[in-house]
Amino acid sequence: MSIGLARLREEPDRIRQGAIDKGEDPTIVDQALALEGRRRQLLGDSDRLKADRNAASKKIGEAIHEGAAPNGPEVAALRQVSTDAGTQIEKIAAELAATESALEELLLRIPNPADPDVPVGDASANRVVRTWGEILPKDVPLAEGGTWTRRPHWEVAETLHMFDLERGAKISGSGFPVYTGQGSRLQRALIDFMLDVHTAEHGMTEIWPPAVVNAASARGTGQIPDKEDLMYVVPRDDLYLVPTAEVPVTNLHRDEIFEADQLPIRYAAYSPCFRREAGAAGKDTRGILRVHQFDKVEMVFFEKPEASAEALEWLTGRAEVILQRLGLAYRVLLMATKDMGFVQAKKYDLEVWAPGVERWLEVSSCSNFRDYQARRMAIRYRPEAGAKPELVHTLNGSGVALPRTVAAVLETYQQPDGSLIVPEVLQQYMRTDRIGR
RNA sequence: GGAGAGGUCGCCUAGUGGCCUAGGGCGCCGCACUGGAAAUGCGGUAUGGGGCAACCCAUCGAGGGUUCAAAUCCCUCCCUCUCCGCCA
């Protein structure tokens, strides 16, 4: 994932400012420009020498064809020219390779500049753009006197036998929840419900991707080398457990060129997600707010550049539809430059309200990468028939992640009598309107 | 896992060291012919990089090697197909 060389040359100021806004080192931009100049110089020298060598070799062929002795003086002289050029090419090639890898290294450290409408600053500059639904209180005064206190999701789940964290730890490790009974069914119901809405109502194409990807795919979406610590790796087979369906689904079209009329391409994909959560030890250890394996429906879009800004708004709205239908209160945050990530141009986070733990829980992150991700994967399209290919814009967003949604459902729909009302849209999938009692 | 066959331009295919600067067919685009179309003819039809440009460089699954010169020869790997074994 990196900034394009053409753009680097054309608008270095914008890229420099983008780096500053994201809290990255802007001097890298100038170092990269210098190396790029050197690269082009070396490439020119090298290409000229290669042209000489090719011409000499060709002449040898022609001379022999016309009857010259293959070991005669004429051929020997030409052979010398070719050999000499080859020697010089190798010398340049060494410096060129070093220059290119140094340049590549620098480019990887230049962030994707944020869109102009993104607030500049750290997390404190994040903007709540809208809030939906009723923010339920933890403590509810009862008509008959006294107070009912909403319990955290792990207590609700324990009473209703919906998941079993202890046994999950026994068979796999902590952070690998076992869903049981109606808890298991709720997983299926949520996945089914979300995919049904995204395909039947939102027109997306459903994808059921592999749960492991090869190194090329992990590299394509930038999981390696940057985030290798976050992934489960299968070294024997050089495979990686997917941390999100974004990885396999975006890579579907790696090294492909679309015709303009094929875009946009919009996918909805269910996959299990595996995350080592290295460095997160001690955070959210109770319940299922932070786990190593979870399930998620992800939306992945390939768009024409001019359509991507609007597509992000629509994408975010499609994730909101899921939360609205589930009747969960949520808010939408527009992430500020230093809090949005290195590769995103604009990002919204969706957070649901969990009244039992009295917290906003992130269940979706919707991003426009513009051409930054497409560049590394060489995903392009032809604006018009016969035109030169241009990079597409890629976007993705959760629609939505299950565990925290489950937590919010349990905490929102729990009843004073200990039972759980099933959200209306899930009743047909759950085949019941109530769990417990 | 074992044995064999194969991976060339959007698709099919030719090509076993040097006019391959990769040929032909199909498809597609343009032009001509036509009242319009079909058929036919002519031309064009990959990607990346460099150059004001003419043009040059790289890429024949990937990576190495041999050679003045590699689609072609050698090595390693990947993938596809067929058969056998195993298997939900």
Tens-place pLDDT, residues A112-130 = 999 999 999 999 999 999 9
Distance from residue A49's CA to nucleotide B57's C1', rounded to whole Å = 10
* Contact yes or no for A4/A32 (Cβ under 8 A): no
**Residue A26: pLDDT over 90:** yes
Span A384-402, pLDDT tens digits: 877 888 999 999 999 999 9
Other Cβ atoms less than 10 A from the Cβ of A211: the count is 16
A7 is known as an active-site residue? no
Domains of chain A and CATH, by start:
5-107 (1.10.287.40), 123-435 (3.30.930.10)
The one-letter amino acid at A386: G
| A389: nt with nearest C1' to CA | B47
Which of A220, A254, A252, A219 minimizes the C-alpha distance to A379?
A254
Mean pLDDT of A253-273: 92
Out of A365, A375, A380, A411, the active site residue is: A365
Q: What is the pLDDT of residue A279?
A: 66
Span A60-96, pLDDT tens digits: 888 887 777 777 787 888 888 888 888 888 888 888 8
Residue nearest to nucleotide B19 (CA to C1'): A62
Span A210-254, pLDDT tens digits: 999 988 888 888 887 778 888 998 888 888 999 999 999 999 998
From CA A56, how far away is CA A131, in angstroms rounded? Answer: 72
Mean pLDDT of A16-23: 95
Residues A249-265 as b/e (b if ≥16 CB within 10 A, e otherwise) read bbbbbbeeebeeeebbb
Distance from residue A53's CA to nucleotide B16's C1', rounded to whole Å = 24
**Residue A356: pLDDT over 80:** yes
Q: Which residues in range 13-72 of chain A are in contact with strand B, contact meaning CB within 7 A of any of its atoms?
A: 40, 43-44, 46-48, 50-51, 53-58, 60-62, 64-65, 70
Q: What is the pLDDT of residue A1?
A: 55
pLDDT more than 90, % of chain A: 66
Residue nearest to nucleotide B29 (CA to C1'): A386
Distance from residue A69's CA to nucleotide B52's C1', rounded to whole Å = 43
In this complex, the answer to whether residue A5 has its CB under 7 A from any atom of chain B, a nucleic strand, is: yes
Q: How far is CA A130 from CA A73, A322, A329, A400, A406, in A?
A: 83, 16, 11, 18, 22
A166 is known as an active-site residue? no
Six token digits for residue A340 = 């949005």
| A64: nt with nearest C1' to CA | B18
Helices A402-413 + A153-160 axis angle, to 10: 80
Label residue A281 by pLDDT band (50, 70, 90): low
A150 is known as an active-site residue? no
Q: What angle do CA A259, A260, A262 make, to 5 degrees?
A: 70
Q: How far is CA A70 from CA A48, A52, A57, A78, A198, in A?
A: 26, 20, 12, 11, 70
> Higher-confidence residue: A98 or A268?
A268
From CA A205, how far away is CA A378, in angstroms rounded? Answer: 22
* Contact yes or no for A340/A122 (Cβ under 8 A): no
* Contact yes or no for A357/A152 (Cβ under 8 A): yes
Find and list the nucleotides of strand B having atoms within 7 Å of a protein beta carbon.
18-19, 21, 28-29, 47-51, 56-58, 68-69
A376 is known as an active-site residue? no
Which of A230, A303, A294 minimizes the C-alpha distance to A265?
A303
> Higher-confidence residue: A61 or A375?
A375
Q: What is the pLDDT of residue A387?
A: 80
Can you say whether residue A138 is alpha, beta or left, with left for phi > 0 and alpha for psi between -120 and 50 degrees? Answer: alpha
Q: What is the pLDDT of residue A200?
A: 97
Distance from residue A257's CA to nucleotide B9's C1', rounded to whole Å = 15
Mean pLDDT of A175-196: 97
| A58: nt with nearest C1' to CA | B18
